[in-house]
Structures are given as structure tokens and as C-alpha cells.
């Protein structure tokens, strides 16, 4: 009878150890995935911040090149690159009409250790009589045939 109890106790202890090991492995996997998710969120925020900063910089009246406001056909005018410790950003300036411009900003994170992220933003600006850019706040989309 004593050896049957010892055999049952051994089986229960082994089952408890297997269960504890499985719980520990699950906790480690969950923590690893949470860290990856957090790193990805940080990378996405850094890319979005770089894209927004690039648009704000290029659309500022002090950074706007007077040559962009000169008469000319629609099309690309300039490509400007920015970089900081976390991301690199490229802003393209496109003339849509004599007074309307589209700024396209595309950024990506630089860290080789964490996950990389990309962000693309655009901004419509109009030129006033002093050739200073101003964001278009009210606009709508139309489907063209």
C-alpha cells in the first residue's frame, strides 16, 4: 500500500512540474510578444512623427522656396530629405495648379535592432498673394470618370 501511495505522489508531483513548466513557457512567450508589440508601436510612432515633422517643416513659410511659387507646369518640384536619430523622411513637393501644391512625406525608422516602420502622409497647400503656403483645411474628394 505504501508503494502505491508513493507512486501516486510521484505522478502528482510530475504532473504539477509539467503544468508549472507549461505556465512558465506561456508567460515567457506572452512577455516576448508584448515586447515586440510595444517595440512596433514605438517604431510606428517615430515614423509618423518624422513624417509630420517633415510636412510641417516644408510647409512653413520660412522654408518654402520662392522658386516653387514661380509659374510653371504641374508636376514635381523638389525632393527634400530629413533625418534624425530615429527616422529618415523624404518630402516631395508637387505642383497641382498655379496656387495648389501637394506635399508627400514618406518616412521610415532607422533602428536595426527593433522592428522597422513606415509612414506616409500628405498635405494640400495653397499659395497666397505673398507666395506663402497655407494648408487647405476644407477639401473634399471627387471620383473622376
Q: Is residue 115 part of a domain?
A: yes
User: For the chain, how many structural domains are there in total?
Assistant: 1
pLDDT of residue 40: 82
Q: Which of 38, 47, 36, 55 is nearest to 117 (CA)?
A: 47
pLDDT, averaged per 10 consecutive residues of the chain (145 residues), comes to 70 88 89 82 88 91 88 92 87 92 91 79 88 78 55
Long-range CB contacts (< 8 A, 24+ apart) of 68-73? 68/93, 68/95, 68/101, 69/127, 69/131, 71/98
**Nearest-angstrom CA–CA distance, 73 and 67:** 13
Burial class (CB in 10 A: 0-12, 13-18, 19+), 42: middle
pLDDT of residue 112: 67
List the domain range (segments joined by +) for residue 79. 2-135
Q: Is residue 41 part of a domain?
A: yes
Amino acid at each position: 500500500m505504501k508503494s502505491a501511495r508513493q507512486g501516486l505522489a510521484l505522478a502528482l508531483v510530475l504532473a504539477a512540474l509539467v503544468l508549472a513548466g507549461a505556465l512558465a513557457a506561456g508567460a515567457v512567450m506572452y512577455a516576448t510578444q508584448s515586447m515586440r508589440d510595444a517595440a512596433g508601436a514605438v517604431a510606428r510612432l517615430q515614423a509618423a512623427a518624422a513624417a509630420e515633422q517633415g510636412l510641417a517643416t516644408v510647409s512653413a513659410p520660412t522654408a518654402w522656396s520662392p522658386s516653387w511659387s514661380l509659374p510653371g507646369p504641374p508636376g514635381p518640384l523638389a525632393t527634400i530629405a530629413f533625418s534624425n536619430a530615429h527616422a529618415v523622411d523624404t518630402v516631395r513637393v508637387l505642383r497641382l495648379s498655379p496656387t495648389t501644391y501637394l506635399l508627400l512625406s514618406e518616412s521610415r525608422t532607422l533602428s536595426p535592432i527593433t522592428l522597422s516602420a513606415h509612414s506616409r502622409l500628405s498635405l494640400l497647400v495653397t499659395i497666397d498673394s505673398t507666395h506663402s503656403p497655407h494648408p487647405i483645411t476644407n477639401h473634399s474628394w471627387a471620383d473622376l470618370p
